[in-house]
Amino acid sequence: MRTRLVKPGTLALMALAAGAEAGAAQASAKPVTLLNVSYDPTRELYEDFDHQFAAYWKEKTGQTVTVRQSHGGSGKQARSVIDGLQADVVTLALAYDIDQIAEKSGLLPAAWQRRLPDNSAPYTSTMVLLVRKGNPRGIRDWGDLAKPGVSVITPNPKTSGGARWNYLAAWAWALRQPGGNDASARAFVTRLYQNVPVLDAGARGATTTFVERGIGDVLIAWENEALLAIKELGPGRFEVVTPSVSILAEPPVAVVDKVAAKHGTQAVAQAYLEYLYSEAGQEIAAKHFYRPRLPAVATKYASQFPRISLVTVDEVFGGWEKANAAHFADGALFDQIYQPGR
Amino acid sequence: MARGESRAVRWTQIAVALVFLALTLALPLALVFHEAVAKGLAAYWAAITEPDALSAARLTLLIAGIVVPVNLVFGVSAAWCISKFDFPGRNLLLTLIDLPFAVSPVISGMIFVLLFGAHGWLGPWLLEHDITIIFAVPGMVLATTFVTAPFIARELIPLMQEQGSEEEEAAIVLGATGWQTFRRVTLPNIKWGLLYGLILCNARAMGEFGAVSVVSGHIRGETNTLPLHVEILYNEYAFAASFAVASVLTLLALVTLALKTAVEWQQRRSVTHEAGIAPSLERIAA
Amino acid sequence: MPGTSRSVLPGFGLSLGITCTYLGLLVLLPLATVFTRSAELTWPGFWDVITNPRVVASYRVTFGTSLLAAAVNTVFGLLVAWVLVRYRFPGRRLIDAMVDLPFALPTAVAGIALTTLYAPNGWLGGALERFGVKVAYTWLGITVALVFIGLPFVVRTVQPVLDDLEVEVEEAAASLGAGRWQTFTRVVLPSVAPALLTGFALAFARAIGEYGSVVFISGNMPMKTEIVPLLIITKLEQFDYAGATAVAVVMLVASFGLLLSINLLQWAARRRAGV
């Protein structure tokens, strides 16, 4: 605010003072770039957020920050970082992918998830069902997806982070049913995937298949993707069905310490992620249909996000490491669905 | 015509061939342009002049600008040694030149990650010296070079084999140096084939998707080529824009084809014009 | 000159040197990483990966559709080449030029365009659906994409041979009382057979590795429409480099074997022809 009142000539001085005041490591106003390696559905969110953060950072420290974005499937992005993609921060679909970066490359400590509030997930989402207008198949809950003749679109859990959340949400619902156990959940999920005619490689591909190609009666999608698809692709053509139970998806964020240290961007990278937790950041997240953590913002956008009974991966599956080994590793439960006679 | 086929047979054959080509080639082509202008010409123009699209176009041109000359040198060398000399292992060498044709683009990208990635053979050394190859322009150039390596060599080898080496041998016997012989005798004989190879190599270099996708890192405005930009737009539900950029690539392909046809036409003319050994020898004497 | 008995031409050392260095650094060294990475597996481990039922099913899909596509291309490619060489009709030049389109069009664009075209709500998909034929997201869709990719290989290898074929021989056969069909099977077909085979093998080899255009149209269903390159990507995505490279080794060996046999075949054909 104060900077607006002074003449441009004194801006540099002011910036210096502001920088010192903010306690930021960068004393000079040398322009800096950050690389944020993210997953597919966050394109619009970060495009918006990066601009606002740059303005905020400029005002706070006088430093110009340019944030570059890379998007792709979450697993693929994690692998690229492991293989040397110079990410200052990662904002991925699931904690497992950042765990892999920590484990395979040591670029950040194994306990990275405890460094920021709320499991390092500044916003959350969940999995919902997107159906065609008027819900002609009468889809109400997960159980309807396994009925004969219903065609379900969901991406391949082997290549898509979102698809793993989909799969686990369906499994969690089945466990919650009367008499539900691992065997019944397995039978349910098997029947559900037998109703899937196309397994796209990523969440965006699946949405395109459902919306543009007109295939399937129901799309299992991130809540934010479902709401975005309705807004971008066809208001009035689709409806969101909120299932009775779903999973609390916590897309986590982290500074990649060693890369940031090499680039000298630790402070700005940290501030970038912290800004996600600020009221402004939460507001942007909510606008892009991510559930905000901050109660004030959450209340404001309450009408956008129906209340669902949400379970977490830790509660039901004992964490991502276990969930992955049991369900998605080669030869694990997901593969067995497709192995005839086994 | 004394060629025997009755009118009916002839036109049936033409019709079947045309229907087949319409279904496999013309329809996809028409669709690209149809979808590209679906949102109007203004939207089309906006999509192809947007900064990200322009930077993708620049990168595509840069990569092709490096890859094509490198493959030119390689292609000519490979064609020279394979077509003018007989040596053990020739068939093996020929197969190695062809190999990038048949290697899956996925593998073509992966091998460079395995070589230069942080956990690859040379990764740690590169990291120590702060050299970035993978997920940056050098890696994309390498992957593209790999994929397009066979094009020029493959175009020249059969041509030079067919022409034999009598003309060159005569030139050498008459006292020309190797370089003179190449420039005055070989080059004029192969120039159209060479140009054709260059055109195809260039088209492929600009259009490569699979291999480049693996090594690009997908940093917006920095390591995206036009084909990658098409995919990005498609994934952002900007279908019309995606097809608009695709149509630019398609136009490039069509220009390439037009050039190629012109080249072939020239080639046919030049073949009828200068047959035999005499003109080349005249050129040496000159 | 080492190994060259008959040539007086210079530049053998230089050109062979450049060629070998280039191939060594750019092709062999990177490809070697595939073999060393897969060597991290034990033999039984390697065998398990490459004979896993899902992987075997993907070989079936990839090799089956590639074979079918190459066969379609052989038949129609020959027809197209024949029509282009033998007949004069309006638009022939244009069509001749268009045959190279798949060489020049980025595969992702081809994939997206073909999917849009053959999806149930596409221009062609809708019409075909009425006859109960599903193309997009089935093995038929994969075949369509591979036909697109491979067509120029067949046309461009057969065309020059047909061009060189002496019409007089056919006329002689005809004057000796051979029917048109007989002339074609006894005279034309044998002379183009080597070129046709080469075109077939090239289209086949190219189809096996194709990824960009196929992923959009295949539907990627495990055991049904999952192609080998997709499985390699899937394994990479799970940080399973050894597994990915093991499957890659199988593909590389297949491609190399295929190419080597074409080159030997052509070399043998040239020798027989006395060139």
| Segment C118-142 mean pLDDT | 89
Output the six-digit token pair for A177: 């049913």
CA distance C167 to C201: 27
pLDDT at B284: 46
Q: In 3D, which of C266, C145, A193 has the Cα closest to residue B161?
A: C266
Cβ–Cβ of B24/C148 closer than 8 Å? Answer: yes
Rg (CA), chain A: 22
Helix (H) or strand (E) holding C220: none
β-bridge partners, A65: A32
Q: Which of C137, C233, C238 sits opposite A198 (nearest CB)?
A: C137
- What is d(CA B84, CA C9) in angstroms, rounded to the nearest whole number? 8
List of residues 6+ apart from B179 with CB closer than 8 A = none
Q: How is A58-97 classified by DSSP, letter by letter?
A: HHHH---EEEEEE-S-HHHHHHHHHTT---SEEE-S-HHH
pLDDT score, position A310? 93
Taking residues B48-61, report their average pLDDT.
Answer: 93
**Highest mean pLDDT, choosing among A171-180, C112-121, C160-169:** A171-180
Sheet holding A218-222, edge to edge: A152-153, A218-222, A127-132, A238-241
Structure tokens, B28: 């996809």
Contacts of B119 in chain A (CB under 8 A): 82-83, 104-105
Range from A308-312, B74-78, C5-9 carrying the lowest mean pLDDT: C5-9
Average confidence (pLDDT) over C240-261? 90
For range C1-20, the mean pLDDT: 74
Those residues with Cβ within 8 angstroms of residue C237's Cβ, 6 or more apart along the chain or in another chain: A73, A75, A76, A79, A158, A159
CB B243 within 8 A of CB B175: no
- Residue A198 is classified by DSSP as -
Scanning A55-74 for CB atoms below 8 A from B yields 68-72
The closest CB to that of C237, out of A73, A197, A200, belongs to A73
Of B91, B106, B204, the CB nearest to C211: B106
At B38, give phi and psi (nearest 5°): -60, -30
- E runs forming strands in chain A: 32-38, 65-70, 89-91, 123-124, 127-132, 152-153, 218-222, 238-241, 245-247, 253-255, 291-292, 309-311
The pLDDT value recorded for residue C156 is: 86
List chains touching C (3+ CB pairs under 8 A): A, B
Chain C residues 250-269 with CB within 8 Å of chain B: 251-252, 255-256, 258-260, 262-264, 267
Question: Cβ–Cβ of A159/C234 closer than 8 Å?
Answer: yes
| Average pLDDT over chain C, rounded to an integer | 86
Give the angle C65-B154-B274 at the CA atoms, nearest 5°. 130
Between CA C104 and CA A135 the distance in angstroms is 44
C9: three-class secondary structure by DSSP: coil
Neighbours of C83 (CB within 10 A): 22
Q: What is the DSSP code (8-state) at residue A6?
A: S
Number of other CB atoms surrounding residue B201 within 10 Å: 28
Partners of A94 on chain C (C-beta within 8 Å) are none
HSE toward the beta carbon, residue B63, CA cutoff 13 A: 36
- Specify whether the CB–CB gap between C7 and B160 falls below 8 A: no
Output phi, psi for A218, to 5 deg: -150, 140
pLDDT at residue number A19: 42
**Partner residues linked to A246 by β-bridges:** A310
Buried b or exposed e, range A87-119, using 16+ CB within 10 angstroms: bbbbbbbbbbbbbbbbebbebbeeebbeebeee
Residues 6 or more apart whose CB falls under 8 angstroms from that of A334 comprise A157, A158, A167, A327, A328
**Cα angle C16, C21, C23; round to 5:** 95
Using an 8 Å Cβ cutoff, are C196 and B194 in contact?
A: no
Structure tokens at B19: 């229907």
Per the CB < 8 A criterion, the answer to whether B99 and C205 are in contact is no
The DSSP annotation for A88-142 comes to: SEEE-S-HHHHHHHHHHH-SS-TTGGGSSTGGG-SEEB-EEEEEETT-TT---SG
Distance from CA of A93 to the nearest CA of B (A): 16
Give partners of B (≥3 CB pairs < 8 A): A, C
User: Is C263 close to B91, i.e. CB distance below 8 A?
Assistant: yes
Arithmetic mean of pLDDT, C141-152: 94
Are residues B209 and C212, on separate chains, in Cβ contact within 8 Å?
A: yes
C-alpha distances in Å from residue A54, one per residue of A57, A59, A269, A275 = 5, 9, 12, 11
Q: Rounded distance, CA C224 to CA B233, Å? A: 29
As given in the structure block, the two tokens for residue A260 are 């940031």
pLDDT over threshold 70, residue B274: no
Residue C2 has pLDDT above 90, yes or no: no
- Note the pLDDT of residue B254: 80
For C39-64, write each residue's pLDDT tens digit. 888 999 999 999 988 899 999 999 99
Please report the pLDDT score of residue A73 as a whole number. 85
d(CA A172, CA A316): 7
Distances from the Cα of B202 to the Cα of B180, B199, B253, angstroms:
28, 5, 10
Instruction: For residue A37, list its beta bridge partners.
Output: A70, A90
Nearest C-alpha in A relative to C222: A338
Nearest-angstrom CA–CA distance, A87 and A265: 11
- Among C176, C209, C260, C232, CA closest to C49: C232
Residue at token pair 């090799």: C63
Structure confidence at residue C273 (pLDDT): 67
C-alpha to C-alpha distance for B152 and C272, rounded to whole angstroms: 27
The confidence score (pLDDT) of residue B4 equals 59
Neighbours of B274 (CB within 10 A): 15
Closest-CA distance, C44 to chain B, in angstroms, reads 23
Q: Where are the beta strands (DSSP E) in chain C?
A: none
Q: Residue C232: which of B27, B106, B173 has the nearest Cβ? A: B106
**Interface contact C96-B121, CB threshold 8 A:** no
DSSP state of B237: T
pLDDT at residue A27, as a whole number: 47
Taking an 8 Å cut-off on Cβ atoms, the answer to whether A201 and C215 are in contact is: yes
Spatial separation of the C-alpha atoms in residues A90 and A269, rounded to whole Å: 10
Report pLDDT for B275: 43
What does each of the 342 residues of chain A score in pLDDT, given as a tens digit? 333 333 444 444 444 444 444 444 444 578 999 999 999 889 999 999 999 999 999 999 999 999 999 998 888 899 999 999 999 999 999 999 999 999 999 999 999 999 999 999 999 999 999 999 999 999 999 999 999 999 999 998 888 888 999 999 999 999 999 999 999 999 999 999 999 998 888 888 899 889 888 899 999 999 999 999 888 887 889 999 999 999 999 999 999 999 999 999 999 999 999 999 999 999 999 999 999 999 999 999 999 999 999 999 999 999 999 999 999 988 889 988 887 644
Residues of C in contact with A215 (CB under 8 A): 119-120, 137
A55/chain B closest Cα distance in angstroms: 20
Residue A253 is classified by DSSP as E
| pLDDT confidence of residue B276 | 42
B8 has pLDDT over 90? no
Name every chain B residue with its beta carbon within 8 A of the beta carbon of A232: 237
| Strand A238-241 versus strand A127-132 pairing type | antiparallel
Residue A198 and residue C65: Cα distance in Å, rounded? 18
The runs of H, that is alpha helices, within chain B are: 7-21, 27-36, 41-49, 51-84, 90-102, 105-116, 123-128, 137-148, 150-163, 166-173, 178-181, 187-207, 210-216, 226-235, 239-273, 278-285
Q: Which residue has the higher pLDDT, B122 or A28?
A: B122
| B188 close to A (CB below 8 A) | no
Residues A115 and A268: beta-carbon distance below 8 Å: no
- For chain B, the residue count is 286
Q: What gap in Å lies between CA B111 and CA B104, rounded to an integer?
A: 11
Task: For residue C201, give the chain B residue with the closest CA.
Answer: B102
Please give the single-letter amino acid code of residue A258: K
Q: What angle do CA B111, B116, B120 make, to 5 degrees?
A: 80
DSSP C65-81: HHHHHHHHHHHHHHHHH
Any long-range contacts for A6-12 (C-beta under 8 Å, 24+ apart)? A11/A62, A12/A62
Provide the pLDDT confidence category of residue B270 given band limits of 50, 70 and 90: low
Q: Under an 8 A CB cutoff, do A83 and B218 touch?
A: no
- Inter-chain touch A75–C222, beta carbons under 8 Å: no
CA distance C18 to chain B (A): 7
CB-closest option in A76, A159, A335 to C54: A335
Q: Tell which of A67, A77, A80 to mutate to test the B interface (max B CBs under 10 Å).
A: A80
Mean pLDDT, rounded, of chain B: 85
